[in-house]
Chain A
Amino acid sequence: MASAGGPRPRAGAGLRAEGWGWRHAGREGWAVRGLDLVIEPGERVLLLGASGAGKSTLVQAFAGVLGGVDEGHEEGSLLVDGQPPEGVRGRVGLLMQDPDSQVVLARVGDDVAFGCENLGVPRDEIWRRVGLGLAAVGLDLPLEHPTAALSGGQKQRVALAGVLAMRPGVILLDEPTANLDPAGVTEVRDAVAAVVRDSDATFVVIEHRVDIWLDVVDRVVVLAPGGGVLADGDAATVLRERGAELARDGVWVPGIDPLGGRPVRSARPGAAWGGPEAVLLPDGLRESAGQAPRPDAATPSTEPGSSATAVPARRGELLLSGRGLAVARVPGRVVADGIGLELRAGEATAITGPNGAGKTTLALTLAGLLPASGGDVIAAPVLARGVSGSRRARRAARRRDARPRPTRSATDAPAPAPRIRSSSELLADPIVWRSRELLTRVGTVFQDPEHQFVTGTVRGELEVSLRALKLPDEEIDARVLEVSGRLRLDALLRANPYTLSGGEKRRLSVASALVARPRVLLLDEPTFGQDSRTWAELVRLLAEQLDRGTAIVAVTHDRAFIDALADQEIVVAEGAGALAPAKGGLA
């Protein structure tokens, strides 16, 4: 199993833990304790375990970056090539999950060179290794290329190139693809697989999505939550014997459906054919930008052959629609246009498409958070009822209306004339609503839950929107209890939101939107990086909301999520601006 080093200069390093434990300073419990583990030089290991089993602590210890003595209490011994990790700097390379904090410097070449500089490698040799490193991860970019302009997957590959340039004997990866979309996952996985194939380095990866690495590893080690090793052996054996247990702990085990094979939507005729309905957007929609809204202009036509067409019953009440929408994160810089869609009560819409195509921008525009650059977001009367809007937002909208509206394809058609909206038309646009008027109408769950935390406790997070709505105290208490119980947050009500685990943060961010009972709920990548247990909980919860008549929109790359929930899929195409029809045969 351990490949002999042979003539190559730097063979794989061996890792050994004996009775090892670590307790972070200021914590009562041990992150890891009583661990005995030997990894031979050249082995390729997948490290599994429930969250909180100390996997990250272990690999950080092997990399010698757990921190000084004032940061924790260590017991037992931990050795790399028979020496403590601090003594063999550069022998161990570590890549962690957040791409934004794995890249150190502003230019690609400089970043790859960073590790070599720290190890005192001579200048000429550094640049030789930079070239080799970038080639090894398959990146063909100029050395001057700004790292800020890289995608998440590219950032991880640049960081990996930097690790390789240090010529490590061990490569440790801590969920390197957790924050990436499927394309990025494949990209990084393939780069790593190639590197591992061509090197003698020992390789350890932590990952809760097992299928990504199955072909790359030859051994699976499962850490027990209390400390020690739960299972250890070849992948097939470990997964066969421990698969069910691992899946219960949230590990994505190939072949085990987190939903237990049961459909979650109770009343969804579309479920019969097992997948969402693909929406074709008529090309003519692009011309509707700037015109007065036509009632049925943007009704998506459905694929004629599918059984999903003849289902007026499942079409609920129209709540929110977009017509000829052009969306821009920064005013004037349109990222997608010609978008038409309708959101109906009790229906789930998935917004998909490649990175940078403007999916999130589209969602934020529908949510009344960003102004549309062209076209209209129109709330149906039933949704807009009772809004008065904010005077300042109305004035801003009028100013925008008076300006010629930029589109991405400005040359295609003459710029539409400035338009005049009546007061009621204006009030149908969520961008003019007051912040608290949004709460009960359109709720938004951001991709990063931490962006939306505004108070110091979980309870505070759940109460804040209810207080903004000026609900009576009893009502607030009742709702907080209900939603916290439903999302298993009741034991955490006094905790600080930032101290929660990833899954808890996600549940809280969804709960804090749901507690105001919005009729439309928008979620940006709700299942990103979630373990299978949280994933299943979210899917079931959203299915419940759909049954209650909430319209749900999710920006997502998650095919299983779409299959489980979505009624329609909107594909935002890259570059083209307009929407491409969803691929046929989605089911």
Chain B
Amino acid sequence: MSGIVRVAFASRAAAGRGKPVPLPPNERARPVHSTTAKIAASAAVRRRSLRWRVVDIVVASVVGVAAGLVFWAWNLVYAPITDPLAVVAPGAQALLYGVWLFAGVLGGLIIRKPGAALYTELVAAIVSALVGTQWGGALTILSGLAQGLGAEIVFALFLYGNYRVYVAVLAGAGAGIGMAVNDLITWYPAMDLGFKAVYFVSAIVGGAVVAGVLSWLLVRALARTGALSRFAAGREATAKA
């Protein structure tokens, strides 16, 4: 094999069999974004794989675990912060419940694989359940499922190919819908329609802003620290900077 330049476009499986498979010059995958600078473009010149790598799985898990810990800390402090909202308009406390939704959107934005949002939010919920939240194990997991699914559906609607800020906002809103549906059935089934309406709208707006916009900004900030260098999300952001 000496002397042969093994071009890294070859699939890893092919490389595993020892066959050098240079990429035909005409097979250029579509660039991820037209604005992407040249370094990222050169790295991204290949078909985007939707298969999860080990690092995708582990980092999604770890982000979920860290988010679960942030939820835990938030669980300790949220009541005095959000309760005043409930006094202004009952149900409006859901505006800040968006904090519980950021894990899914963040996971989706970082990992960019099918199921990432759902998986990350679910892991976060399981961690909360294991370290003990006031909501009881299975219920916490159920709400994580609903919230993650809301964000996941939005990423799927964009075919796991668009991760701009408006998609993040929509994903946050989707997570908000998931949360509202689950909470209104589980916790507030007996509420007035007015309460339910306020809760529903607040959850969506809160999800869009807190989980959507903030997660998007978070990914950019994370990328600048170099922590996402093994992810397209990280390489794109640093290339733009």
Contacts and interface: CB of A to CB of B under 8 A. Distances in A.
Interface of A: 18-19, 24-28, 67-77, 79, 83-84, 86-87, 456, 496-499
Interface stretch (B64-72, B117-125, B140-148, B226-234): B226-234
Interface stretch (B15-23, B88-96, B204-212): B15-23
A87 B221 contact: no
B33 interface: no
23 contacts: A19-B2, A19-B5, A25-B235, A26-B39, A26-B43, A26-B229, A26-B234, A26-B235, A26-B238, A28-B39, A67-B230, A68-B12, A69-B11, A69-B46, A73-B8, A75-B8, A77-B1, A77-B2, A84-B16, A87-B18, A496-B225, A496-B226, A498-B225
Given A76-B6, A77-B1, 8 more contacts: A19-B2, A67-B53, A70-B232, A74-B6, A75-B5, A77-B6, A497-B225, A499-B225
Contacts of B234: 26
B203 interface: no
Interface of B: 1-12, 15-18, 39-40, 43-44, 46, 49, 53, 55, 221, 224-227, 229-230, 232, 234-235, 238-239
B9 to A, nearest CB: 6
Nearest to B222: A498
A19 B3 CA distance: 7
A77 B4 contact: yes
Contact of B224 (A24, A71, A73, A496): A496
A71 B1 CA distance: 22
A67 B9 contact: no
A19 B2 CA distance: 8
A69 to B, nearest CB: 5
B73 to A, nearest CB: 16
Nearest to A450: B225
Nearest to B237: A26
A27 B1 CA distance: 26
Nearest to A497: B225
B12 A86 contact: yes
A87 B16 contact: yes
A26 B239 contact: yes
A132 B233 CA distance: 43
A72 B226 contact: no
A84 B20 CA distance: 11
A70 B46 CA distance: 8
A456 B238 CA distance: 13
Given A71-B230, A87-B18, A496-B225, A26 B1 contact: no
A456 B10 contact: no
Given A26-B235, A456-B221, A69 B39 contact: no
Contacts of A497: 225
A456 B17 CA distance: 44
A19 B6 CA distance: 10
A25 B239 CA distance: 11
A18 B1 contact: yes
Contacts of A72: 8
Pick the most buried of A25, A67, A73, A86: most chain B CB atoms within 10 A of its CB. A25
A86 B18 CA distance: 9
A92 to B, nearest CB: 14
Contacts of A74: 6-8
A136 B107 CA distance: 41
Nearest to B5: A75
8 closest A-B pairs (Cβ-Cβ)?
Answer: A498-B225, A26-B235, A25-B43, A77-B1, A86-B16, A499-B226, A74-B8, A18-B2
Nearest to B40: A26
Contact of A69 (B1, B12, B235): B12
A79 B18 CA distance: 10
Contacts of B46: 69-70
A60 B52 CA distance: 20
A73 B6 CA distance: 9
A356 B15 CA distance: 48
Contacts of B6: 74-77
Contacts of A27: 39
Nearest to B221: A456
A84 B18 contact: yes
A51 to B, nearest CB: 16
Nearest to A456: B224
Pick the most buried of B8, B12, B232: most chain A CB atoms within 10 A of its CB. B8
B238 to A, nearest CB: 6
Nearest to B223: A496
Nearest to B234: A26
Contacts of B227: 498
Given A67-B230, A69-B8, A498-B227, A79 B1 contact: yes
A387 B4 CA distance: 70
Contact of B49 (A24, A25, A26, A70): A70
A75 B1 CA distance: 11
Nearest to A18: B2
B55 A67 contact: yes
B56 to A, nearest CB: 10
Contacts of A70: 43-44, 46, 49, 232
Nearest to A79: B1
Contacts of B1: 18, 77, 79
B63 to A, nearest CB: 15
Contact of A86 (B5, B15, B39): B15
A87 B18 CA distance: 8
B169 to A, nearest CB: 23
Given A25-B235, A26-B39, A79-B1, A69 B9 contact: yes
